[in-house]
């Protein structure tokens, strides 16, 4: 509550204005995947987004004030960690999995969706709790983090504007972070323009937007007898380019526990979140442990390197039908993937510190 | 069948209109009377799965508890399918159709119960029928966001990738033993591309199924189990050989048509209550 003087010279309490609702800016062709999911208890607001952005770049969230969320999720790299397979936390310790890029997270279903490579969190809000207290990342208790924010005079007014309270708590911190993260929408690549004009039939200027090689790459991408990438990563009608599910892609005979770490199901052993194939030009190295430095290495894995892991996805078994992709075909697929780099997203001033 | 905004809009029009619960007739004075239609009742459909009459067990690897008609042992790790336009056919003519589809994924238990909003008018029905997959009218490219986000589309562009578009009807996947070696099968069903024709033609491959022994009298809310017996996809009448049709089979016309051929005996109805 804020105070002001009234005409009598006394003071009275006035209500803090409600935060201003914000409708997420969704690219036109995203109607193919429906509206973004926003939880009823954390609506997106101007003030919440602004606070979330400030917190995203806030180093006070780490024990020694050395790193922020953006240290491992760099907006200029599609919110990925620059070239690092594993990210460095406080005191120089390293995490155990590759930092995931951040975009289009508002389309992960609210009730059934999971976040992180291994599906540890059931919501964006829940996900934001972990890095602060993780002993390989920010290494700080939430009590300490909140105390630092509360003592910083810039924060209470911002929390007041966003949540109508100057008393900061961790639940509000993660809510603000999640609001900001839901605004990270990537949908403005040449592939997107192609889909808008040639698939959705929208009236947009310009084109053709894809080269013959890129279109050949897409053809191989969706052909079950060739790349067969689409069963997990989608077609032109899924601009997310992921199914937001968890799959075992045959990296190791004895895999990392993956999703099973959180579900306890043996059938989930070795399953990891299917990443979007957007913005791959900014997010090397690849896979949950960053083992592949190039997209050619990734395609070589799917072509000839699949291991018979316990829950290997049937879409990938080389014993059924080997892919036998030629070098030219791999280059075509990579050309298509590179057309999914969204330079306007990584340069968006709204996402920069 | 190419994806355009136009056919997206067409699909939107398939969304069922609200049922009108009143009929108009004349009273003795010549004025209009609004009379309620017959009472209608909710139906709940339990989506059940079996193999040779026993409840399906998923993810049994390394055990392969099932054997197909070709003597190949197999296990199942993924089963997803969709049905549409469930229809109640009235004795003496007429029917009530539940417009729309229901998607089943055995990894998502919430999909195992289908509780459509459409209610069924009281009366005597001689049978229940439905479409496995989508018929030509409903198999509209890119039209269903819930399915798009699941990558349920059936590709429609390019030299390799053009399979006629629309959506998968089923993904049934698992592993089988082949001469001591473990292999996977991916029984994916959808539009059949016939490469023998010039130009290539596409055949909608859905199944129109009328369930045997599905006569029902509706006078209260009711339920039944719609059972898919997986074994029937692989026998009766075509004896499926996983070594011939393991994966990929989406572009193989004969495989798609043989699934259609075998599909007529896959479904049954039990536990009408």
pLDDT in tens, A90-147: 999 999 999 999 999 999 998 888 999 999 999 999 999 999 999 999 999 999 999 9
- What is the pTM assigned to this prediction? 0.89
Q: What is the pLDDT of residue B7?
A: 38
The mean pLDDT value for A220-233 works out to: 93
The mean pLDDT value for A18-35 works out to: 96
Chain B residues within an 8 Å CB radius of A231: 151
Q: For residue range A61-98, list pLDDT tens digits in order.
A: 999 999 999 999 999 999 999 889 999 999 999 999 99
Q: How far is CA A285 from the centre of its chain?
A: 16
Instruction: Report B:79-108 residues touching A (Cβ under 8 A).
Output: 108
Task: Look at residue B222 and give its three-state secondary structure.
Answer: strand
Percentage of chain A surpassing pLDDT 70?
Answer: 95
Chain A residues within an 8 Å CB radius of B146: 34
B1/B137 Cα distance (integer angstroms) = 12
Contact: B184, A243; criterion CB under 8 Å = no
Q: How many Å lie between the alpha carbon of B2 and the closest alpha carbon of chain A?
A: 8
Q: How far is CA A330 from the centre of its chain?
A: 26
Residue B11 touches partner A, C-beta closer than 8 Å: no
Residue B184 touches partner A, C-beta closer than 8 Å: yes
Q: Is the pLDDT of residue A180 over 90?
A: yes
Chain B residues within an 8 Å CB radius of A312: 184
Q: How many Å lie between the alpha carbon of B138 and the closest alpha carbon of chain A?
A: 16
Contact: A244, B149; criterion CB under 8 Å = yes
Q: What is the pLDDT of residue B9?
A: 34
ipTM of the modeled complex: 0.89
Q: For residue range A243-283, list pLDDT tens digits in order.
A: 999 999 999 999 999 999 999 999 999 999 999 999 999 99
Weakest mean pLDDT among A16-25, A169-178, A310-319: A310-319
Mutation site, A210, A231, A265, A269, interface B, largest B CB count within 10 A: A231
Contact: A267, B185; criterion CB under 8 Å = no
pLDDT level of residue A321 (50, 70, 90 thresholds)? low
Which stretches of chain B score pLDDT less than 70? 1-37, 161
A88/A86 Cα distance (integer angstroms) = 7
Residue A27 touches partner B, C-beta closer than 8 Å: no
A239/A232 Cα distance (integer angstroms) = 13
Contact: B4, A218; criterion CB under 8 Å = no
Contact: B3, A311; criterion CB under 8 Å = no
Contacts of A186 (CB under 8 A, 6+ apart): A78, A103, A104, A278, A279, A342, A345
Residue A29 touches partner B, C-beta closer than 8 Å: no
Evaluated on CA atoms A89, A95, A98, A102, the torsion sign reads negative
Q: What is the pLDDT of residue B52?
A: 93
Residues in chain B: 273
Residue B145 touches partner A, C-beta closer than 8 Å: yes
Instruction: Report A:67-126 residues touching B (Cβ under 8 A).
Output: 107, 112
Could you say which of A33, A236, A267 has the minimum Cβ distance to residue B59?
A: A267
Q: What is the pLDDT of residue B18?
A: 31
By C-alpha distance, the chain A residue nearest B1 is A199
Tokens of A83: 């070239």
Q: Is the pLDDT of residue A11 over 80?
A: no
Inter-chain Cβ pairs, chain A and chain B, closer than 8 A: 129
Q: What is the pLDDT of residue A69?
A: 97
SS (H, E, C) chain A: CEEEECCCCCEEEECCCCCCECCCCCCHHHHHHCCCCCCCCCCCEHHHHHHHHHHHCCHHHCCCCCCCHHHHCEHHHCCECCCCCCCECHHHCECCCCCCCCCCHHHCCCCCCCECCCCCECCHHHHHHHHHHCCCCCCCCHHHHHHHHHHCCCHHHHHHHHHCCCCCCHHHHHHHHHHHHHCCCCCCCHHHHHHHHHHCCCCCCCCCCCCHHHHHHHHHHHCCCCCCCHHHHCCCCCCCCCCCCEEECCCCCCCCCECHHHHCCHHHCCEEECCCCCCHHHCCCECCCCCECCHHHHHHHHHHHCCCCCCECHHHCCCCCCCCCCHHHHHHHHHHHHCCCCHHHHCCHHHCC
Q: What is the pLDDT of residue B61?
A: 83
Mutation site, A237, A243, A259, A311, interface B, largest B CB count within 10 A: A237
pLDDT level of residue A310 (50, 70, 90 thresholds)? confident
């Amino acid at each position: 509550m804020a105070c002001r003087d009234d005409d009598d010279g006394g003071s009275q309490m006035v209500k803090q204005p409600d935060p201003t609702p914000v409708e997420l800016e969704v690219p036109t062709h995203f109607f193919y995947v429906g509206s973004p999911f926003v939880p009823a208890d954390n609506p997106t607001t101007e003030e919440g987004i602004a606070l979330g952005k400030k917190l995203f770049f806030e180093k006070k969230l780490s024990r020694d004030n050395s790193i922020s969320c953006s240290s491992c999720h760099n907006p200029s790299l599609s919110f990925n960690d620059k070239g690092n397979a594993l990210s460095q936390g406080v005191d120089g310790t390293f995490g155990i999995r590759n930092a995931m890029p951040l975009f289009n997270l508002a389309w992960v279903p609210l009730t059934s969706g999971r976040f992180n490579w291994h599906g540890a969190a059931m919501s964006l809000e829940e996900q934001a709790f972990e890095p602060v207290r993780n002993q390989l990342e920010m290494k700080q208790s939430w009590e300490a983090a909140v105390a630092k924010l509360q003592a910083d005079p810039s924060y209470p007014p911002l929390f007041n504007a966003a949540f109508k309270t100057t008393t900061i708590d961790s639940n509000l911190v993660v809510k603000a972070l999640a609001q900001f993260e839901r605004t990270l929408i990537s949908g403005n690549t040449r592939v997107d323009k192609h889909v808008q004009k040639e698939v959705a039939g929208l009236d947009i200027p310009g084109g053709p937007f894809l080269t013959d090689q890129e279109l050949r790459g897409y053809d191989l991408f969706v052909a079950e007898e060739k790349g067969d990438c689409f069963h997990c990563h989608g077609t032109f009608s899924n601009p997310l380019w992921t199914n937001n599910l968890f799959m075992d892609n045959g990296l190791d005979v004895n895999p990392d526990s993956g999703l099973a770490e959180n579900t306890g199901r043996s059938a989930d052993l070795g399953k990891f979140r299917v990443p979007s194939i957007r913005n791959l030009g900014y997010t090397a190295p690849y896979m949950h442990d960053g083992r592949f430095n190039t997209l050619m290495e990734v395609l070589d894995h799917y072509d000839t390197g699949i291991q018979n892991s316990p829950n290997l996805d049937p879409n990938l078994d080389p014993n059924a039908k080997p892919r036998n992709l030629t070098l030219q075909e791999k280059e075509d697929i990579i050309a298509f993937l590179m057309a999914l780099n969204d330079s306007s997203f990584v340069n968006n001033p709204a996402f920069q510190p | 069948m190419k994806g355009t905004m136009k056919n997206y809009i067409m699909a939107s029009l398939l969304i069922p209109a609200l049922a009108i619960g009143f009929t108009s007739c004349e009273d003795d004075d010549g004025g209009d009377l609004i009379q309620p239609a017959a009472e209608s009742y909710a139906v709940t459909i339990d989506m059940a799965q079996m193999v040779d009459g026993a409840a399906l067990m998923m993810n049994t690897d390394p055990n392969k508890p099932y054997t197909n008609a070709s003597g190949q042992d197999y296990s199942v790790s993924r089963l997803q399918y969709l049905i549409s336009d469930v229809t109640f056919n009235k004795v003496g003519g007429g029917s009530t159709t539940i417009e729309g589809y229901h998607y089943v994924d055995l990894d998502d238990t919430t999909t195992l119960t289908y509780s459509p909003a459409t209610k069924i008018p009281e009366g005597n029905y001689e049978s229940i029928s439905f479409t496995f997959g989508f018929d030509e009218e409903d198999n509209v490219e890119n039209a269903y966001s819930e399915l798009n986000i699941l990558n349920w589309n059936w590709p429609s562009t390019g030299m390799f990738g053009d399979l006629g578009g629309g959506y998968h009807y089923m993904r049934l996947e698992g592993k089988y033993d082949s001469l001591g070696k473990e292999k996977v099968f991916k029984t994916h069903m959808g539009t059949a591309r016939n490469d023998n024709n010039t130009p290539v033609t596409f055949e909608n491959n859905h199944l129109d199924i009328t369930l045997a022994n599905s006569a029902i009298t509706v006078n209260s809310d009711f339920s039944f189990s719609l059972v898919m017996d997986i074994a029937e996809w692989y026998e009766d009448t075509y004896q499926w050989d996983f070594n011939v049709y393991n994966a990929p089979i989406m572009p193989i016309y004969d495989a798609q048509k043989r699934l259609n051929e075998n599909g007529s005996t896959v479904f049954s109805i039990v536990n009408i209550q």
